[in-house]
Chain A
Amino acid sequence: MKKLLFYFCLTISALIFLYPFLWMISASLAPESEIGNLFALPSSFSLHSYLSMFNKIPIGRAFVNSMIVASSITFGVLLTGSIVGYALSRLQFKGRDLIFYIIIFTMTLPFQITLIPQYIIMVKFGWVDTYLALIAPYMINALSIIMFRQYFKTIPQDLIDAARIDGCGDFRIVFRILWPNSIPAIVTIGIITFMASWNEVLWPLIVIRDESLMTMPQLVTLFAVGGRAESQLGVKLAAAVMLALPIIIVYLFFQKYFIQSMTSTGIKD
C-alpha cells in the first residue's frame, strides 16, 4: 500500500518533468491551428513550423558554429587542463603551491566582476564578431586543472618511472601513459565542458552581433524575444526543439555519465 503511494508520487513527478518537453515536440509538429491544444496529440503532423523557421533564421549555420565552438573549447580544456594538472601533481618547481592557490582563488571569483573588462579586451583585440572571442577565454578552466591534478595523483608513480626509463618525455607521459589511465576524469571534464559551452548564452550575446557567427542558444534567444517569429508559437517551439535535441540525443546514450559527471562536480550550466 505504501509502495503504491511511492510509485504514484514518483510517476506524477516524472510527468511534471517530462510533460513540457513532450508538449514542445508535439506542438512544434502540429498544424498552426492545433498548437493551443495542450492535452492531446495533434490530429496530423506537419513540418510547417520547421520549414518556416528554416526560412527565417540560419539555424543550420548556428548549429555548425555551436559545434565548432563547443568542440574547440572541450578539446582545449582537456589539453591544457591535463598539461597544467600534470605539472602541478608530478613535477617539482618553485611557485607550484602559489599557482595552485591562485587557481583555487580564481574558482571562487564571481564572473560578474570580470564581465565588462573581458568584453573591453575583446574590443581592443578586435575579436568581437570572431570565433576567437567565443573560444579563447574558455580554453583554460580552473576546475578541470584541479580535477586532472587530483586524478593524476592517484596514478602510481611506478608507471611514470617505467615510462621515463623507456625514454618517454613529459608530453608522451601525459598523453600516452596518463591519459589512457584517466578515462573517467576525461569523460567527466569533457561532458561538463561541452555542455556548459553548448548552453552558454550570455557571453555570445555580448561579443557576437553578426548573425552568421551566432551560436544556437543565442540565435534562438534573439528569435524568441525579437519580432521575427511574428508571434507564431509553432515556429518558436521548432527553434527550441532544434536547440534542445542535440544534447537530449547525446544524453539518451550517455545518461549514466552525464549524471555522474555533473553530480561529482556540482556543475550546472
Chain B
Amino acid sequence: MKNRRVKNKLLPYIFVSPYILHFLLFVAFPVLFSIILTFHKWNIISPMEFTGLNNYVRLFKDTIFLKSISNTLIFLVIHIPLQIIVALFIAEILNQNIKFKGFYRSAFFLPVIVSGVVVTMLWQQLYGFDSGLLNRLLTSVGLPKIGWLIDPAMAMPSIAIMATWKNVGLYIILFLVGLQTVPRHYYEAAELEGANHWQKFFKITLPMINPTIFMVVILSTIGGFSLFIEPYIMTGGGPLNSTISAVLYIYKQGFFYYHMGYATTLGLFFAMLILLVVVTQKKFLEKGE
C-alpha cells in the first residue's frame, strides 16, 4: 500500500518529465548559454575568447544590422495594412449570401499550406524583369516595367506583397469567423437609424472584429522578424542589402562566417526587439478598444 502511495506521488512527475527534460536542454540552457556567448568570440572549433562588450559595441556600429531592422520595418509597414485590407475586403464579400463559398475559401487558403520555398520560387518568376508575368502585363497595357527584385527601393515591398499573398487566406477565414459573430440585429437597428454602409462598417463591424485585427498585427509582426527563406531564395539579401532580414543576417553571421558570439548577440537583440514591439502594439491596440 505504501509503495503504491509513493508511486502515485511520483507518477505526475514522470508524466511531465519529457517536458522538463526538453525545457532544460532546448530552452533554459540555450537561453543562459546565449547570454554567455554574447561576451565571447567563438567559431566553435577553437577555444572561446572573452571579449567583454565588444559584440554589443559592434552591433550598434553595424550598418547591415541597422539595415536589417529598417528592412523589417518597411516590410511590416506594407504587409500589415495590406493584409488587413485585403482580408477584410474578401471576408466581407464572402460573408454575403454567396454560392460556392467553400470553393473560394479553399482557393484563398491554398498558398497558406504550401511551403514558402515553392511560393518564393513561383514569385521569383512572376517578378522577373524581362519575362516575368507582372512586367508583361504592365507592358501589354503600355506601362513601364518595374524592377521588382532588382530595384533596391522595390525589393522589400515586393517580398511584402508576396508574403501577403501567401498568408492572407488564413486571415480571410479568421475575419470571416469574426464577422459571423456580429449579431444581425445590430445592423438592423443601425439601418433604422439611417446609417449608411460605411457608418455601419466603422461603427459596428470594425469594433467587433478588433480582437482579430489584433491577432493579425501580432502574428504578422512575428512573421516579419522571422523572414528567412523568401530573401534567401529570391535575392540573397540584395540588391545592396535592401532585403536582408533579421534571421537571414543571423544565419549569415553564424553559418557563413562562424561568428557564433556575434550571431548570438544579434539573436538576443532581435528577440528583445520583437518582445518590445509586440508588447507596445498590445498596449496600443488594447487602449483603442
Which residues of A pack against B, CB within 8 Å? 3, 6-7, 9-10, 13-14, 16-18, 20-21, 23-24, 36, 38, 80, 83-84, 86-88, 91-93, 96, 99, 102-103, 106, 108-121, 123, 137, 139-140, 145, 170, 195, 198-199, 201-202, 205-206, 217, 220-221, 224-225, 233, 236-237, 240, 243-244, 247-248, 251, 255, 258-259, 262-263, 266, 268-269
Given contacts A87-B15, A102-B23, A217-B117, contact A24 B226 (CB under 8 A): no
Contact B98 A7 (CB under 8 A): yes
**B interface residues, how many (CB within 8 angstroms):** 85
Q: Please measure, in the bound complex, the distance between the C-alpha atom of A20 and the C-alpha atom of B103, giving whole angstroms.
A: 17
Contact A6 B255 (CB under 8 A): no
Q: Please measure, in the bound complex, the distance between the C-alpha atom of A10 and the C-alpha atom of B107, giving whole angstroms.
A: 10
Contact B29 A121 (CB under 8 A): yes
Given contacts A21-B110, A243-B118, A269-B116, contact A106 B177 (CB under 8 A): no
Instruction: Give the 6 A-B residue pairs with the shortest CB-CB distance, closest first.
Output: A117-B30, A87-B15, A93-B12, A113-B271, A114-B30, A110-B271
Contact B115 A198 (CB under 8 A): yes
Q: Output the least CB separation between B253 and chain A (Å).
A: 9
Q: Output the least CB separation between A60 and chain B (Å).
A: 18
Q: Output the least CB separation between A139 and chain B (Å).
A: 7
B142-196 residues at the A interface, CB under 8 angstroms: 165, 167, 169-170, 173-174, 177
Contacts of B13 in A (CB 8 A): 93
Contacts of A92 in B (CB 8 A): 12
Contact B90 A199 (CB under 8 A): no
Which label, helix, strand, loop or mixed, suits the secondary structure of the A interface?
Answer: helix
Q: How many A-B residue pairs have CB under 8 A?
A: 227
Contact A114 B15 (CB under 8 A): no
B213-262 residues at the A interface, CB under 8 angstroms: 215, 219, 222-223, 225-226, 228-229, 232-233, 236, 246-247, 250-251, 254-255, 260
Contacts of A236 in B (CB 8 A): 121
Contacts of A83 in B (CB 8 A): 15, 18
Q: Can you report 18 A-B residue pairs in the complex whose CB atoms are below 8 A from each other?
A: A9-B90, A17-B107, A20-B123, A21-B110, A84-B18, A88-B16, A110-B222, A110-B275, A112-B225, A117-B34, A119-B254, A121-B25, A201-B115, A224-B121, A243-B115, A255-B102, A266-B170, A268-B167
Q: Output the least CB separation between A208 and chain B (Å).
A: 12
Name the residue of chain B whose CB is nearest to the CB of A220. Answer: B117
Check: B94 CB closer than 8 A to any chain A CB.
yes
Q: Please measure, in the bound complex, the distance between the C-alpha atom of A236 and the C-alpha atom of B136, giving whole angstroms.
A: 21
Contacts of A84 in B (CB 8 A): 15-16, 18-19
Contacts of A16 in B (CB 8 A): 165
